[in-house]
Structure 1
Amino acid sequence: MPEGHTIHRLAARHRELFAGDKVLAASPQGRFAEGAALISGSVLEATEAYGKHLLHHYAGERTLHVHLGLYGKVTDGDGAPPEPVGQVRLRLTSDLHWLDLRGPTACELLTPPEVQALRDRLGADPLRADADPDAAYDRIRRSPTPLAALLLDQSVVAGTGLIFVTEALFRAGLRPTTPGRRLSAIRWRAIWDDLVLLMRQAVLVGRIDTVRDEHLPEAMGRPPRVDRHGGEVYVYRRAALPCHVCGTAVRQADLAGRNSYWCPTCQR
């Protein structure tokens, strides 16, 4: 599932392509035909991302809500759109650009109260200027739940997925199983600031890199990571490989139904 930086990149891309323009909407697949008809011919006024949720705000107080889930994909291009291929849930076109959405978990129109309800159920997004890390910490400090599970809970922190959470905990020197109530306010703020740093960088470059300069391949004389997710990481999907910092074998275990990775030496 795409992490929050990908959705923020999509929001910026769609703003660049369509904001201020009258957009034609269609659903070649047919599953969003009624919703597409309601926004077709409307002006796209703004786009935004909140965690893993993408929002297009149209004139007339209609908002398109998209959640890509595990299989959703967005493609776009210039000029006339190609013939639809596969199950295109939504196609947007303007005089200059086109966009296709396939396989999302959610593709729906929301009213203003429904948009607010969506925002209200999401936690602090490290990529948003209106984020409230203190509200997130208020949830964390009272909970016996492992930190990794709390940071993956989108009602606590929005936009963080397994890579960002796994790597932020390594960089903080904390095991994924550390209970939330054992986290001090100072250590939480350090984790939050690190998430902001890592996620903003990911928005800029389009991939997740979490390794500090001294542990990059060229600095250590090691081969670069080869993985479909790209980017250099410390422990994510590196089970049984040596830690870049101490050489200890990285461990892997199931935590709340998700794979968890950590270094038993660097994370106490």
Structure 2
Amino acid sequence: MAAGLSLLLLPLGLVINPELGLGPLVGLWLGGTLLGGWGPTFRVLLGGGVLCALLVAAVVFTPLTRTLAEGLIVNEAPQKADLIVVLGGGMHCGAGELEASSLARLEKGLELWRAGYAPRITLSDTVGEIFGDARCPSLGRVAAQRVQALYGDEGPEILFLPQMRTTRTEALAVAELVQARGWQRVLLVTTPAHSRRAAGAFRKLGLEVLSVNSSEPRFDRALAAPADRLQALTPLVREYLGLLVYRLRGWL
């Protein structure tokens, strides 16, 4: 019984971190099985299983996921600005390629540049460790190569934010850059579900920011089908956890 109930911990772990490998998943199952062998923790495990089942039912059969998604989005009309900030997304470290979220953000940033909203963009010169592989190439450098391939010398001015690890470090670097150059308005480009935390982190530092969303490649924002709602659950849960952490640290 305990072993069966502990299996319910696996989808919960994957919701929080879908990149968990086989080892951590097996450890999670074994830990749940051992805890389930003791009466008090068995009841906790049983209650957790019921809550997981209720959560899945709420995601699949109610508007919960759409409500959660809408609560994360800050999307504003672009205006003339001094700088377009393209926030970092993810990397496929083995192939050295930008993940879909990074591509979506870069595409939107270039769209704003082509429309004449600002003459320059920032890219995040990341460190490999944040993607779990010290050999991972810099997201910003790979993105810059893509811009160069598309536009050559006719492309936007690119400014690198060095040694970027988090949205917080990106906000700090942009604040320092804006102050040093005497700039004012910034167009902040990120994916919709990330926009509330990102805009809040930048505004906390006194920056004049307009949050301009890219497309959302991680899930279908219409959330019409149960599969779409389940797919959206992981990024939404992680963003709400991120908001909590940022508030507790005073970054929002």
TM-score scaled by length of structure 2 = 0.29
* Larger strand proportion of the pair: 1
TM-score scaled by length of structure 1 = 0.28
Higher relative contact order (CA 8 A, sep 6+): 2
